[in-house]
Each structure stands twice: as structure tokens, then as C-alpha cells.
Amino acid sequence: MESSQNYSDSLNKISTRIPNALKMVDNKELKSTIFWLNQVLLVVSTIFGVYLAAKSGLEQVLKFDSYSKMEDNYYLHTSLYDKVNDNLENIKRYSLLLVQSPHTSELEYNKPTFEKYIWHTMQYLFTTLETPSIFLTQIRRFYSCAECVIEAALRRKMSARQASIELDQIADSIEQQTLPQLKTSALNLQQNDIIIGSLKDADNAN
């Protein structure tokens, strides 16, 4: 009986101490912990938001740069196509003249002048390195071979008729292979989900 009484007294003492202990708890520590937890969450969320914004911005910049290069390449291919095509027509006309075996003075007077503004300008363009090398090689050979044949005809190192035949072969190669491929390349660039002219529209330049 005495042990039971002691146990009961112990329980009563504990039950009275617990409320007193809870009253003595300082709520400042709990509030401080919540405050710093909020601050940490705020910092983390801010960093995460900045990261997402920076990532989105970088993606937009890279996308714009990619589209801008596509547009530059399109204009380059188109201009090169037009210029080579013009020079091709000049060679064809000169070939028809050579068939008639005219006098050297007439050949000299009608000697075609190759317009190479675009060709020479390409030396200073970064987009030139993005142009398929096969086009650059074929066009370079086109100009080089045509000029050699014309000079040989003018110096009578080659007959006018033979020069006409060789010029026709050079013209056929560039007309049937290089120019169609160059045009297709430009059209493929135009079909890459971009409206050509949208990035460098003259109406929006200001």
C-alpha cells in the first residue's frame, strides 16, 4: 500500500510540473526558427526563379542567333546564285560568238567581264565558312576554267571552235549541278521555321 501511495504521489508531482514547464518555454526561439526558415526558402526560390529566367533568356538568344545565321546564309546563297547565273549567261553568249570564229579584235571587244563582287565580299563574311565547300569549290573552278579558256582563245593558243566547246562544257556543269544545288540549299534554309526577312526587315530597321 505504501508503494502505491508513493507511485501516486510521483504521478501527481509530474502532472503538476509539466504545465509549469510549458509555461516557462520561450516562444522567441520558435519564432526565430520559423523566420530563418522563411528566409532560406525565400532565397532558394529567388535563386531558382533567376535560374529559370536566365535559362529561358539564353535559349531565346541562341534561337535568335541560329535563325539569324540561317537568314544570313539564305541571303548569301541567293545572291551568289544570281551572280553566278548572270556570269553563266555571259559565257553562253561568248560561246556563241566563238562558234563564228570572229577576228581577235572582236573577241577582245566582247570578252565577258565576270562580276565577282559577291564572290570577293565572301572573303570577309563569317557565313562563308558555313557555306557547303562543294559550292565554293565548283564556283571557283568555274571562274578559273572559263577565264583560262577565254584567254587561250584570245591568244590563239586554242581555236575559237574548241574554246566554244569547252566553254559549253563548263557552262553545262555549273548550270546543271551547282546552281540547282545552291538554289535547293537556299530553299532548305527558308523552310526552317523562319520567315526570311523577319529579322532584318527594312521597314523595322528603325
**Mean pLDDT for back-to-back runs of 10 residues, the chain (206 residues):** 51 52 52 72 80 74 72 86 93 92 88 85 80 89 93 90 93 93 84 57 43
Question: What's the pLDDT at 164?
Answer: 93
Cα 100 to the center of its chain, rounded Å? 49
| 98 to 48, 125, 160, 163: CA distances (angstroms) | 74, 37, 5, 7
Q: What is the pLDDT of residues 9-27, one digit of tens each?
A: 554 555 555 555 545 545 5
100-135 CB burial, b ≥16 within 10 A, e <16: eeeeeeebeeeebebeeebbeebeeeebeeebeeeb
Question: What's the pLDDT at 33?
Answer: 73
Question: What's the pLDDT at 93?
Answer: 93
Q: Kindly tell me the number of DSSP H helices and DSSP E strands found in the chain.
A: 7, 0
CA–CA separation, 12 vs 34, rounded Å? Answer: 35
Question: What's the pLDDT at 50?
Answer: 80
Q: What is the pLDDT of residues 120-161, one digit of tens each?
A: 888 887 778 778 888 889 999 999 999 999 999 998 898 989
Question: What's the pLDDT at 206?
Answer: 39
The C-alpha cell of 24 is what? Answer: 516557462
pTM: 0.65
